[in-house]
Amino acid sequence: MTTNHDTAVLPSAPHEDWRDAFLAQCEPRYSGHTRSAIASDLAVFLAWFRAENGEEFSPEKLTHWDLQGFRRHHVHECRRAAATWNRRLSTMRKLAHFFQNEGFIGADPTAEVRPMEIQDNQPKWLKRSDFGRFMRQVERNVNAARTRLQQKNALMDQAMIGLMVYAGLREFEVTGLRRGDVVIRERSGHVMVHSGKGDKERMVPLGKEARRLVQPWLDYWKEERLFDISERWVQKRIKTLGLQASCQEDITPHRLRHTFGKRMVEKGVSIEKVAMLLGHNSIETTKIYVRPGFQDLAEAVELV
């Protein structure tokens, strides 16, 4: 006996407990905060469905038509934030997959329902005020060092931050440096990154300010490994320095790298050169680093 899969009947299942079963399935997979958001999103959808259709919802009633209506309600009528709709769409997709696995529905009705695009105007680089506070704090720590340990830590901080802010190095590139990778002369210098992202090698010139910050560490530290520290240590140390400086935003190695790219562009350096300095394969990647932030847009409209 053969079965015609085109006309096969989906297995029946009790509908009464679907909500509890769905939320129970989420429990081991997601955090308490995420589970609360899922339950809230589901309640909003059920209330909307009841008001829109004049009937109670059941699993086989989950249709693409209704989900598109739910989207229009959010986007055009309620004018909810894009992030809110995208989160609720994620919840509905989880629900649709659950219904498919339970045999309530055959196809996924969420497949062609679009999220909302979000224009990210938040800069990843440091504001000028925070950049000044941060770099000032780094130098003050050098001046204030009284013990040998304090001097070591302050000079190391200054050198590794100099390589991030003025040469655009990633934290793992900094921790992987050997002494011979950094060459500083009276009027020039460079750092050789042997294992950048994607195992790419690149040479980055060191300008006057970078040389000023790195040279004291080279004079102090004579070991082959230039920085005897881990990536995690770099991340924690930079965050601590940001707190010491009372910066308004969290300071991370990635923000310092973004700041390098942004400052290059502000000085008129071409995007192609910035891409090479940052070690990017594609200029499109570099554009993400240097796209205008909200403050840039605010300053632009003041020119009109």
d(Cα 259, Cα 276) in Å, to the nearest integer? 16
d(Cα 174, Cα 234) in Å, to the nearest integer? 9
Residue-averaged pLDDT of the chain = 87
Mean pLDDT of 199-221: 93
Q: What is the pLDDT of residues 248-302, one digit of tens each?
A: 888 999 999 989 998 888 888 888 998 889 888 888 878 776 676 666 666 667 7
Q: What are phi and psi of 105, to 5 degrees?
A: -135, 160
**Cβ pair 91, 42 in contact under 8 A:** yes
- pLDDT reported for residue 80: 79
Band (197; pLDDT cuts 50, 70, 90) = low
Boundaries of every domain in the chain: 11-102, 128-293
Q: Which two tokens stand for residue 11?
A: 């297995």
Closest alpha carbon to 251 in 103, 148, 132, 90: 132
Cα separation values, 92 from 13, 33, 48, 66, 147, Å: 20, 17, 13, 11, 59
Q: How far is CA 98 from the centre of its chain?
A: 29
d(Cα 180, Cα 261) in Å, to the nearest integer? 25
- pLDDT reported for residue 293: 67
- Residue 9 DSSP symbol: P
pLDDT at residue 198 greater than cutoff 90: no
pTM summary value:
0.60
Range of weakest confidence among 85-89, 125-129, 293-297: 293-297
Residue type, 136: R
User: Is residue 57 classed as helix, strand or coil in its secondary structure?
Assistant: coil
d(Cα 261, Cα 274) in Å, to the nearest integer? 6
pLDDT at residue 57 greater than cutoff 60: yes
Q: Which two tokens stand for residue 246?
A: 């009372």
Please report, rounded to a whole number, the percentage of residues in the chain having pLDDT higher than 90: 62
- Residue 28 DSSP symbol: T
Residue 278: CA count within 13 A, CB half-sphere: 30
Q: What is the third-level CATH fold of 128-293?
A: hpI Integrase; Chain A (1.10.443)
